Amino acid sequence: MAISPYCIPCEKNNCWIEIDVRDEQNRSFKGQKATLTDASGTSKTVTLKDGPTLVQGFAVGPVMVKLETTPWLKAAQSREALKKGEASQVPAYTETFWGHCDVKREHVKVTTGDLCLTDPEQPLPEGHKAGQVQSSQEGHKAGQAQLPRFITKHSYVIEVKGYQLTTLRIGVFFDGTSNNTFNHEKGKNALEAALAKCSPQEQAALLEQCFEGTLPGGLNNSEKNDVTNIGKASDLYLLSDKAPLLSIPVYVEGIGTAKGQDDTKAGAGADKGETSSTSRVEQACRTQIVAKIKEQLSEILPSIECIHKVEFDVFGFSRGASAARQFVNRIDQKGDHPLVEAMATAPDIPLKAGFDWSSRDDVRIQFVGLFDTVVSSYLWGKRSVTLAPDCAERVVHIIAADEWRYHFDLTRIKNMASDLPASFTEVIIPGAHSDIGGGYYSRWSLRDPNYASPVINETKVIATFKSTESRYSTAKDSHAYSQATAYAKMRAAQGWAKGVELISSYNNTTVSGYLNVRPQRLGTVSKDASEQEVKVDVVLHRVVEGEYSRIPLHMMVEAARDAGVPFDIWDPTDNSLRMDSALSYPTLNLAALDARWVDAAKRRGEVIDLTRTLSPQEYQALRLGYLHYSADTGMVNKPNRVGDQEVRQVTDNQKGGY
């Protein structure tokens, strides 16, 4: 005969109770500490077994069952609720065998809160607080939510209500030096206003000025640039406000830039100050990520029971790739970074109890996508850019093969003395730094592609030669002129121009599409005026189409999608992504090249050099129409010279940082 829960307890502690605590998937909570207390105050603490746990020595009557709160919450909130249409297996399990002393086992449903020994620090979600499961126990009113009752000499199978296991996936996008999607809009508006004047109805002088590439003054570099592949990737990253998988993009402005403000020399030039790569990582952790979670998920957060896991997809270009690598090293297996503090002060973002930022079970870097990493901070101390082989589930780095500027040395993800980790991929493709990471204008970026030539014009002095000559000799007879001509012919043969034009005077106009050899007398250099110094510039003047950078973006997007990153499907008709040329006779079919290369970055554990897949004629055509020549004779963009060669300085993953 059952004992009434309203009996006065006797003083004889010779009664028992048997408990078997299970989740909705019929898995035990083996290892949890349970404290059972009878009405006389007798208390017993036991460790739960995989099956029934027998506890003896109680007075007859009711027994309170509680579990140590912190570990209990951590365990309970990691157990998944039944999905729609699924039925619990616990009732059938309850019937499979008898309890202690051959009593019939009883199935009892409870919430997490019902079994908490102490009040949780954070309020439990609705439906999981104490007394929120509708009971069918003896002595309870049918269908009424009440605290469960446990009585001695009974055997209970206690089914704990599960949780919706929610993952928050965050894409963090670090833009490059002097790149800023917000500032781009201001610059684009100014450019289009100027281009609107370049029509047959305007004065010939203005039209000529436009097509020589003279653009509106007063713009910062970040305002002159097009949206980079980081900005575009951020736009492609899907916002999901539907549990159990939430995802948001977080765009971080480029190094040396700030929304609506002038670019900073300290940030862009020296990677110092509030717009440096290290500051960008700090800002992302301290304020931006939490702010974006609240902004983009404001409607769903109140209904989320708790977030069980946080995953990151991290992307970066140039010094933004340096910032991305620093971010990975700041987050991975670390519990003391500013994001921990920021999330702790945001109770409306409900992390599960016992969420462990230092555990990869709770926080994991899923994908790292890098466009041509440039650190360039060595004068001011190394950056934490060395990536461990297991830092992320997947790492992809796309590298520029036609970049050799002195201040743009490459930091690889490969250690020179070892093979690439199995989850890493490096892809080398033709192009300069921003041909890989984006930022050069395409005709499709502007309102009228037919009048885009001024924006995509490239006119620069790429080399200068000097020599001392007899005052009676001509500039064309000088050693400098001979050197300059040979250099120009070498670059033209590589495809950078249609050919070489010999300009007779420094004041003469350069010819578009060609490498122009332009001499200049600098004056006498000897006391008797018998010698003169001659300077000869090699001027590259041409129009370069801007669609090529969409190929490395497409490669990265598909490699990321292959690894589970929530990117939208690639739309080749989108003007920001399209590769078909606005020209009648393009030098190369980019869409066909994209089709050949698009899956290359999916290959794992390899360094893939796609320059070797091009014929010499294809490479020349690519350089002529689509690849930018980034080096010039100025201080910022001067080439890196090794002997008489212009080559890129390369640092391996280990030496590049710490």
pLDDT of residue 602: 98
Of 223 and 8, which is predicted with more confidence?
Answer: 223
Whole-angstrom distance, CA of residue 236 vs CA of residue 249: 9
Closest CA to 114 of 149, 153, 78, 155: 149
pLDDT of residue 379: 58
Question: pLDDT confidence of 213, banded at 50, 70, 90?
Answer: low
β-bridge pairing 15-23 and 53-58: antiparallel
Task: List pLDDT tens digits, range 42-57.
Answer: 999 999 999 999 999 9
pLDDT over 80 (residue 523): no
Q: What percent of the chain has pLDDT over 90?
A: 74
Task: List pLDDT tens digits, range 58-94.
Answer: 999 999 999 999 999 999 999 999 999 999 999 999 9
Helix (H, G, I), strand (E, B) or coil at 592: helix
516: Cβ contacts below 8 Å, ≥ 6 apart: 488, 500, 501, 502, 503, 510, 537, 538, 539, 540, 541
Question: pLDDT confidence of 186, banded at 50, 70, 90?
Answer: confident
Share the mean pLDDT of the chain: 91
pLDDT over 80 (residue 102): yes
Question: Do 449 and 581 meet the contact criterion of CB atoms below 8 Å apart?
Answer: no
Residue 72 has which token pair? 């209990």
pLDDT over 70 (residue 2): no
Task: List pLDDT tens digits, range 551-567.
Answer: 999 999 999 999 999 99
Per-residue pLDDT, averaged over 121-129, amounts to 90
pLDDT over 90 (residue 262): no
Per-residue pLDDT, averaged over 615-631, amounts to 97
pLDDT over 70 (residue 394): yes
pLDDT over 50 (residue 305): yes
Per-residue pLDDT, averaged over 392-407, amounts to 98
> Which strands make up the sheet holding 531-543, listed edge to edge?
457-470, 531-543, 514-524, 500-502
pLDDT of residue 514: 98
- DSSP 8-state code for residue 225: S
Question: HEC states along 80-110?
Answer: ECCCCCCCCCHHHHHCCCCCHHHCCCEEEEE
Per-residue pLDDT, averaged over 125-136, amounts to 82
pLDDT of residue 474: 86
pLDDT of residue 647: 97
Question: pLDDT confidence of 202, banded at 50, 70, 90?
Answer: low
Phi–psi pair at 476, nearest 5 degrees: -70, -15
Phi–psi pair at 165, nearest 5 degrees: -80, 105
Phi–psi pair at 612, nearest 5 degrees: -75, -10
Per-residue pLDDT, averaged over 118-138, amounts to 82
pLDDT of residue 1: 44
Per-residue pLDDT, averaged over 211-240, amounts to 83
Question: Do 229 and 553 meet the contact criterion of CB atoms below 8 Å apart?
Answer: yes
Angle at 167 between CA 159 and CA 570, to 5 degrees: 140
pLDDT over 90 (residue 222): no
Nearest-10 crossing angle of helices 229-236, 181-195: 110
